[in-house]
Amino acid sequence: MTLVENLFCYIAGSTLAISALPQIIMIIKAKSVKGVSLFTNILLAVGNYCYLVFGILTTNIPMIIFDSICGVLFTVVSILKVIDNFKTKRSENASQIASTSVKTDDVVNKE
């Protein structure tokens, strides 16, 4: 690759890697992934991993470095969203069970 091609590869890669950071910082500060799209982050991670494979096949070092970083960042966001979805479903189920048992207790106590 020429110097200009390498330069653009580094600029593009670093821009993409930096673009993932505000989302992760927001998640860490808010301790919440509300408003984060799981589907979008999965697509971004898969796209970055495809570019990673392309970088490996063409031995493009900047592409390998930055697509590895981006892929990991978007994967982390996706995992955080899946964990949050699981916890939310679990707490919803627990509150439904608790409200059902309260109603059952009221019926039993009245009789």
| Domain assignment of residue 106, yes or no | no
Per-residue pLDDT for the chain (111 aa), expressed as one digit of tens each? 788 888 888 898 888 888 888 888 888 898 888 888 999 999 999 999 999 999 999 998 888 999 999 999 999 999 999 998 888 888 777 777 777 665 555 555 555
**pLDDT value of residue 107:** 54
- Looking at residue 54, what is its pLDDT? 92
Determine the pLDDT at residue 69.
Answer: 92
Query: How many domains, in total, are found in the chain?
Result: 1
Q: What is the pLDDT of residue 64?
A: 92
70 found inside a domain = yes
Q: Provide the residue type at 76 as one letter.
A: V
Let me know: does 41 contact 28? Beta carbons within 8 Å: no
Phi-psi bin for 60: left (phi > 0), alpha (psi -120 to 50), beta? beta
Q: Does residue 97 lie in a domain region? A: no
- The three-class DSSP label of residue 46 is helix
Distances (CA, A) of 89 to 32, 34, 36, 68: 15, 14, 16, 32
Render pLDDT for 49-77 as a digit per residue (tens, 0 to 9).
999 999 999 998 888 999 999 999 999 99
CATH of the domain at 25: 1.20.1280.290
Domain of 11 in residue numbering reads as: 3-85
Which pLDDT does position 50 carry in this prediction? 93
User: For residue 70, what pLDDT is reported?
Assistant: 92
Domain contains 95: no
